[in-house]
Amino acid sequence: MDNRAKVIVVGSGLAGSRTAQFLQEYCDVTLLTKGELMDANSALAQGGIAAALNTGDSVNSHFADSMLAGGNESDKNNLKILIREGRKDVKTLIQEGMEFDRNADGSLNFGLEGAHSTPRIVHAGGDFTGKKVLEFVQSKFQNIRVITNAFVSELLVRNTKNGSEVYGVRFLDKQNREMIQIADFVVIATGGLGKMYKFNTNSSTVCADGFALAKRAGAKLRDMEFVQFHPTLLKSTTPILISEAVRGAGAKLVNSDGDYFMKNKHKYEDLAPRDIVSREITREITLGKDVFLDASACANFEKRFPFIAQKLKENDIRRDRIPIIPAAHFFMGGVTVDSTGRSNLRNLYAVGEVASTRAHGANRLASNSLLECLVFSRRVAQDILSRKLNHNPEQIEAIRATETSQIHVPSLMQIQEKASCSIGIIKKQAKLRDFMNWLSKFDTQKISTSKEINELENLVLVAREICAASLKRSTSLGAHYIEVDV
Ligand code: SIN
């Protein structure tokens, strides 16, 4: 009998993959992922990893920048952990063989991004950072049972004398069969909720699933009003993120009248925190203007941003006139966890974007998210390894065939349209109330056996949480900007 702890990790972005990598030597690890292994936001992350490793930089300075960007709402302890331990975790990654971009003298090349007071972002392959880091971590997989195209539809929970306990998951496999898998520990690392919005920078697999799974199982969610919008998504039929690092390298925002409208709006101008820049762009658009990024002043553009340069070329877009629009990017709220990733349900952990450690406060600082994945995946793994076992033995078994579902849900287009205008960059109380009324028509407690319907139910459930939290907070804070009825 294998006496190792059975661990299920749900999600194959950096948070999930790194957790699995840490545990593979000591545990029986199954990694379930909704698409293929690289279908994750981490693989799309262009901006790199922020860490106070540059000469003249300090943990205090990185902490202060993160705190300010987050509206002074960060959990100080967890933010300190992120910044302090993050330096070591980046060094560990380098010792394991990960190659970051370097200067001619061999020193790390540090980039600048929004709301950072000094260059401190390491990149790999220019704007391919997330892809390179994720590939690197997954290249270390040796002893992990990876199941791709596995859509987790339910966390299995039982009542014990110590309270509710998670003991496995139900999922739909590639052939759409319902399966269950039992485990000692379940780690959710499903990312955020980009698909809720028409314009978003996320992988199309990122659909609020983890929040909905956790909520239905009885886990606590918090800070659901804090959705971060990135100022610059390429406005095109094939939209891609235009990294903040491009503005860090000298690009400027300009409207169709030729005005550099971020001038005098903030001391960092185009590199002000994302919520501020996104709102200013939205105001320009509301005035009927188009907004562009003028990247003509960026030196070595093709070398520093090979992915973006290629996409601009494919779309026949000039570098001095890149059409952009703000887009949903990151979620600061999520499953309430402590600094080891433990949720309020026994044996359930959450890590990465789906988790709320509150390290990011009300608005995450650029390039702190891959850092979060590195730091908190290690902490989750260490905590699991410190736990005593009460084995749940069984493996995968098919339990029943797929049924056609009768559950009534709105279409994705309806959800996206309503979410974009009600729980977007600028919220209004009356619109929030209308959206809430509309959402309340749909039942999200029954779990459909159709993946597509289940995804829509998840979006509805989470939209309701965002609406409720947004209505509760009547003053603006960080990424939550609300105009109150008069
Ligand atoms: C970007 O490259 O602008 C995004 C980086 C991040 O979200 O941290």
Concatenate the DSSP letters of all residues of 305-360 into one string: -HHHHHHHHHTT--TT-EEEEEEEEEES-EEE--TT-B-SSBTEEE-GGGEE-STT
CB distance 189 to 350 below 8 Å: yes
Please report, rounded to a whole number, the percentage of residues in the chain having pLDDT higher than 90. Answer: 91
Binding site membership of 14 for ligand 1 (Cβ less than 6 Å): no
Beta carbon of 366 within 6 Å of any ligand 1 atom:
yes
User: Is there a contact between 136 and 21 (Cβ–Cβ < 8 Å)?
Assistant: no
**E strand or H helix at 146, and its extent?**
strand 144-147
Q: For residue 388, what pLDDT is reported?
A: 83
- Identify which of 82, 112, 113 to mutate to test ligand 1's pocket (most ligand atoms within 8 A of the CB): 113
Q: Which residue has its alpha carbon closest to ligand 1 atom 5? A: 47
Position 448 scores a pLDDT of 85
> How confident is the model at residue 438, as a pLDDT?
98
Q: Which of 404, 420, 449 is the last residue of a domain?
A: 404
Residue at a domain's end among 327, 348, 368: 327
Ligand 1, residue 232: give the atom nearest the CA.
3
* Secondary structure of residue 70 in the 3-state scheme: coil
Report, as an integer, the average pLDDT of 324-335. Answer: 98
Do 30 and 191 form a contact (C-beta atoms < 8 A)?
no
Please tell me the distance between residue 261's alpha carbon and the centre of ligand 1 in angstroms.
21
Q: Are residues 140 and 88 in the same domain?
A: yes
Residues 394 and 428 in one domain: no
What is the CB-side half-sphere exposure of residue 121 using CA atoms within 13 A?
30
> Both 28 and 152 in a single domain?
yes
Distance 406 CA to ligand 1 centre (A): 40
Is residue 75 located within the same domain as residue 172?
Answer: yes
Calculate how far, in angstroms, residue 299's C-alpha sits from the geometric centre of ligand 1: 20
Based on the domain organization, do 373 and 269 belong to the same domain?
no
Tell whether ligand 1 has an atom less than 6 A from the beta carbon of residue 46: yes
CATH of the domain at 250: 3.90.700.10
What mean pLDDT do residues 347-359 have? 98
**202 Cβ inside 6 Å of ligand 1:** no
Q: Are residues 135 and 116 in the same domain?
A: yes
The strand pairing partners of 480, in sequence order, are 477
The atom of ligand 1 lying closest to the CA of 366 is: 8
245 lines ligand 1 (CB under 6 A): yes
The pLDDT of 113-134, averaged and rounded, is 96
- How much distance in Å is there from the Cα of 423 to the middle of ligand 1? 21
> Is residue 126 in contact with ligand 1, taking CB distance under 6 Å?
no
**CA 244 to ligand 1 centroid distance, Å:** 6
| Residue numbers of the domain that contains 204 | 1-226+332-404
Give the pLDDT of residue 391: 65
Distance 127 CA to ligand 1 centre (A): 10
Confidence class for position 1, pLDDT limits 50, 70, 90: low
40-62 average pLDDT score = 96
Let me know whether 398 and 430 are in one domain: no
Q: Residue 430 is part of a domain; what is its CATH number? A: 1.20.58.100
pLDDT score, position 209: 98
Q: What is the pLDDT of residue 162?
A: 84
Ligand 1 atom closest to the CA of 365, numbered from 1: 8
pLDDT of amino acid 373: 98
Please give the mean pLDDT across all residues of the chain: 95
Ligand 1 site, residue 47, Cβ cutoff 6 A? yes
Q: In Å, how far are 46, 197, 292 from 302, measured between CA atoms?
A: 14, 30, 19
| Average pLDDT, integer, range 298-309 | 95
- Pick the last residue of a domain from 404, 435, 468: 404
CA dihedral 53, 57, 60, 66 (to 10 degrees): -80
Do 424 and 391 belong to one domain?
no
Query: What are the catalytic residues?
Result: 274
Percent of the chain whose pLDDT exceeds 70: 97
Measured in angstroms, how far is the CA atom of residue 112 from the centroid of ligand 1?
11
Mutation choice for ligand 1 from 202, 367, 369, 372, CB with most ligand atoms inside 8 A: 367
pLDDT at 282: 96
Same domain, 184 and 323: no
Between the CA of 132 and the centroid of ligand 1 the distance, in Å, is 15
Contact 353 CB / ligand 1 (< 6 Å)? no
* Per-residue model confidence as pLDDT tens digits over 388-429: 887 655 545 445 444 555 788 999 999 999 999 999 999 999
Q: pLDDT tens digit string along 371-399?
A: 999 999 999 999 999 998 876 555 454 45
| 339 CB near ligand 1 (under 6 Å) | no
Q: Would the pLDDT of 94 be above 50?
A: yes
pLDDT tens digits along 431-479: 999 999 999 999 888 888 889 999 999 999 999 999 999 999 999 999 9
Domain total in the chain? 3
Residue 367 CA, closest ligand 1 atom number:
8
Please tell me the residue having the least CA distance from ligand 1 atom 4. Answer: 47
pLDDT value of residue 400: 46
246 in contact with ligand 1, CB cutoff 6 A = no
Q: What is the pTM of this model?
A: 0.95
Instruction: Output the CA angle 117-121-124, nearest 5 degrees.
Output: 165
Say if residue 148 is in the same domain as residue 179.
yes
Asked whether residue 206 falls in the same domain as residue 92, the answer is: yes
Examine the domain organization and report whether 220 and 131 are in the same domain. Answer: yes
